[in-house]
Chains A and B, each alone.
Chain A
Amino acid sequence: MSEREHIGFYCGLCPDFMPALREARRRWPDARLTAIVPPSYAPDEAIYAVVDDLMVTGRDAYSPLHPLAVRQLAADLRARGFSHFITLFRTTQQRILALVSGASRAELWDMDSRIRPMEVTWSGLIRGAMRRSVGGRLRYLGLFLYACIIRVPRSR
């Protein structure tokens, strides 16, 4: 029998993260679910009706300007031993966080309800970033030119 899944749910700076946590609990009723929240949004005891553990991060926001804080957060995440990591925002920082958490599986739950897998290896992360960077810029340029050149005729 496989070990009980341990899910780390990184809520980030999302003020209303409870619906996401409730949905995670509904999907994985038997998993150990840990909510990871910034100090400003630290919830009260009621959260334990939905999650098993609560991890309050040291800061609200992390950036490369605070390398020691980032390192500490990564160490704290690793120490929890997550098997599955979920984030609510599709930023590079959160992709890196999913990677350094040591989880073997990571997902992005975006605010439009979509669920996407995230890379959990450095090579996958770099490949994905390059693909998005090049493809995204080309798409931007293509759509911009299209919107400028192909015009909507004046309506009658």
Chain B
Amino acid sequence: MRLAFVDLEFSWPPPGGAQIHLLHDMTELRRLGHEVRLIAPLAEGSWRFGRIEEEALPVPVTPILLASRPFPRDELVRKVRAAVDAFAPDVVMLAFGFYLKAHLAAALSDYPLISRYYTYEMICVRDFLLYRDEHACPNSFLDTPNRCRRCFVRFWGPGFPQEGTSGFADEFLANGGLHPAFHRLWVEHLRNLDALVVTNEMTRQRLEKYNDNIHVVPGGVSIERFPYRPPPEREPGDKKIIFMSGRADDQMKGFHTLRRAGEVLSEKRDDFEIWVTLAKPPNARPFIRYLGWREQDELRRLYGEADICVVPSVWEEPFGLVAVEAMASGRPVCASRVGGLQSIVVDGETGFLFTGDNRFELAHCLGLMLDHAALRRDMGMAGRRRAETVYDWPRVVERHYPALLESVLP
């Protein structure tokens, strides 16, 4: 089968996880015998997105040359359409495209069309995060467009005097995102897609009234890059290490919950230390070691030194890659019961799930793990098995894509 992937954010080397995700999908589909081509814009004057070192990619690329963001809509759509026609695919997959996706979908509607959503861009036009006032936002641009339009303006407006909008917010405005016609186009494009791919069940439920062919396809991990590491051997009196990796400086990642859980624990015990990839703040706690930002290679080593990994996110994590990386490394994971995390961690088997923002519940889970080395070891091994059988990239693609592709063919 000939598969065209269209991605407006693709860059290589990758600026984020979504590009790695897409590359794994394409590579594995190619391994399964499909002919795969990536169609992506190369943006002049950009430094982070829109640059591709083709020789480093295992799939052929059709570059679309464009000026910098916001992309000129009509030119982009015309050029993508021409590139897709030249490849003549059996199926077109739209990856990142944000507000231009609806226009691309309309232009490519005579092809079997699948659209993949990595985050909540189809629901939350403000910043795709679906997170407001420290909680998951119950609104949706599809259902409550007027509320979401006002939210967008109130959020970005105060930054206008500083040019403080994001490129995506500018693109939303440049594409008439506040105009009622945009909402109509947005809803129609979801209805007209042959299939949607989302990363968690919550997103599927919120979209199912707009399309009845929605597939939940999780992300994955390269289990060779995150090999199993036996638990560290501790002498009596050694401190056990509770590790939180990722962008801990982002409030949505919930480090404050872990810090408070650490305070609860420190009232009763001192046999632990929390390691976090965060710069040391002025009010540093004695039981926390602040590691600062760490590169991916060093993170792998840190997973090996940790006894327990914690993912305390307070927003609806679309997937939760750090939890899978920790599990692949053989570490038990304490994760909040949100978004994709609640499907990754099997409660009581590969770790514990706790209510996001609940420090007492997290402290209780950590206390159990700190007390029982055998529990940590067994959960770590179960996590590794789960990473191998469910989240290894080849298995993710083999399990989900055949049914997905079959569902859109005439």
Residues of A within 8 A of B (CB): 13, 15-16, 18-20, 22-24, 38, 40-42, 46, 60, 90-92, 109-115, 132-133, 135-137, 139-140, 143-144, 146-148, 150-153, 155
Contacts and interface: CB of A to CB of B under 8 A. Distances in A.
A114 B68 contact: yes
A95 to B, nearest CB: 9
B162 A90 contact: yes
B161 A136 contact: yes
A15 B293 contact: yes
Contacts of B173: 143
A124 B384 CA distance: 58
Interface stretch (B128-136, B164-172, B255-263): B164-172
A152 B279 CA distance: 44
Contacts of A60: 279
Given A15-B249, A144-B157, A151-B180, A113 B149 contact: no
B45 A90 contact: no
Interface residues of B, number: 45
Nearest to A144: B153
A140 B169 CA distance: 13
6 interchain residue pairs of minimum CB distance? A112-B167, A40-B279, A136-B160, A136-B161, A140-B157, A15-B293
B295 interface: yes
Interface stretch (B28-36, B47-55, B116-124, B198-206): B47-55
Nearest to A19: B15
Contacts of B184: 155
A153 B17 CA distance: 37
B154 interface: yes
Interface in B386-402: none
Q: Which residue, A42, A90, A140, has most C-beta atoms of chain B within 10 A?
A: A140
Contacts of A153: 180
Q: Which residue, B150, B163, B168, B184, has most C-beta atoms of chain A within 10 A?
A: B163
Contacts of A91: 162
B47 A113 contact: yes
Contacts of A16: 293
Given A113-B69, A147-B152, A152 B146 contact: yes
Given A136-B161, A136-B163, A140-B157, 19 more contacts: A15-B279, A15-B292, A18-B295, A23-B51, A24-B47, A41-B292, A41-B293, A90-B163, A92-B162, A109-B47, A113-B48, A115-B45, A115-B68, A132-B162, A144-B150, A144-B153, A147-B149, A148-B150, A155-B187
B301 interface: no
A92 B164 CA distance: 11
B295 A112 contact: no
Contact of B48 (A23, A147, A148, A155): A23
B168 A112 contact: yes
A40 B292 contact: yes
A109 B45 CA distance: 10
A152 B183 contact: yes
A100 to B, nearest CB: 19
Contacts of A20: 47-48
Nearest to A134: B161
B46 interface: yes
Nearest to A108: B163
Contacts of A24: 47
